[in-house]
Amino acid sequence: MFDFEDQVIIVTGAGGNLGNAVVKAMLHGYGTVCGLYHRKASLTKELQDAVKDERLYLYEGIDVTDREGLLSLGKKIQSDFGKVDVLVNTVGGFTAGETVYELAPATWEKMLDLNVHSFLNTTAAFVPLMLDGGRGKIVSVGSKSALDGTAKTGAYAAAKGALLRLTESLAKELMDENIQVNCVLPGTMDTPENREAMPKANYDHWVKLEQVADAILYLSSSSADAISGAALPVYGQS
C-alpha cells in the first residue's frame, strides 16, 4: 500500500467510475482527498462508502472547462489546506461514429474540452500551489487510442494524443521543480456503461478500474520520483 499521509490530493471527476476508485484508494493510503465533480448534490451518493471519512472533502458543481472557476477554487483550496501535493485528472470524454471528413465542429470541441482543456485548466489552477510547496505529482488519464487512431474515433484519439504531448511538455517544463507529470493509458475499462454498450464482449479481457487506480497511485507516490513524462500502458487484455 502506498502512503499518502499528510498529503493533499485533488481528484477531478471524483463521482465517475474511475474517479470513485481513485478517491477510495487514496483514502486507503491515508491521503487528504479533495474530490471535484461537475454535478451538484451527487458526490455524496456516488461516494457513499467514503463520505464519512474525515479526510474526504467534496466540491460539487465544478466545471473543469471553466478556467476562471478553477482558478478561484485553487485559491480556496490553498486557503483551506495550504498546499496541493497530488493532482489526478480523471475527467475525460469519449465519442465515436463520425468519420473524420464528417466530423461535426461540436464533436471536436467537446473532445477538446473534456480531454485537453480540462488538463490545461486544472494545471493552471494547481501547479502554482505545487511550485510554492516545492514538490508535486500530476497524473492524467489518457487512452490506448492516443497511440493509434482507429476508424470513426478520430476526434477522441486526436484529443488523447494532444493530452499525451502536453503531459510530456509539462514534464520537461517542471523537471527542475521536483514536480513529476505522467499519464496512464487504459485500454477498455470494465465499467457498467461499457458493458451496456458491448454486451457480447469478453469482460474478463478488460482492465479493471482498481487496476487503473493502482497505476495512478504508483505514479502519485514517492516510488515514482524518478519518473516523469511517461505514458504507462494499463491495457489488461484489451
> Mind listing the pLDDT tens digit for each residue in 160-182?
999 999 999 999 999 999 999 99
Question: Could you tell me the three cell numbers for 167?
Answer: 503531459
Per-residue confidence (pLDDT) for residue 194, from 0 to 100: 87
| Kind and range of the H or E run holding 9 | strand 8-12
On whether residue 2 sits in a domain, the answer given is no
Residue 1 inside a domain? The answer is no
In a domain, residue 171? The reply is yes
Q: Which amino acid is at 46?
A: E
Tell me: pLDDT of 219 over 80: yes
In a domain, residue 3? The reply is: no
- The whole-chain average pLDDT of the chain stands at 92
Q: Which CATH number is 12's domain given?
A: 3.40.50.720
- The answer as to whether 219 is a domain residue is yes
Domain with 175 in it: 8-234
- Residue 36: CB atoms within 10 A of its CB come to 28
Higher-pLDDT residue of 9, 45: 9
Give the per-residue pLDDT at 47: 67
Tell me the chain's radius of gyration from C-alpha atoms: 17
Q: Is residue 82 part of a domain?
A: yes
C-alpha cell at 42: 451527487
Could you read off the pLDDT of 33-90 as tens digits, one per residue?
999 998 765 566 666 565 556 789 999 899 999 999 999 999 999 999 999 999 999 9
Q: What three-state secondary structure class fits 127?
A: helix
* Residues in a beta bridge with 12: 36, 89
Structure confidence at residue 46 (pLDDT):
61
Q: CB–CB of 159/111 below 8 Å? A: yes
Across residues 192-215, what is the average pLDDT?
Answer: 91
| Top-confidence residue, 90 or 198 | 90
- Other C-beta atoms within 10 Å of 197: how many? 11
214-149-210 Cα angle (round to 5): 15
Q: How many CB atoms lie within 10 A of CB 117?
A: 18
For the segment 88-96, the average pLDDT, to the nearest whole number, is: 93
Q: What is the mean pLDDT of residues 201-226?
A: 95
Query: What's the count of helices (H) and strands (E) in the chain, helices before strands?
Result: 8, 7
**Residue with cell string 467510475:** 17
129-158 pLDDT, tens digit each: 999 999 999 999 999 899 988 999 999 999
pLDDT value of position 44: 60
pLDDT value of position 228: 98
* pLDDT of amino acid 42: 58
- State the total domains in the chain: 1
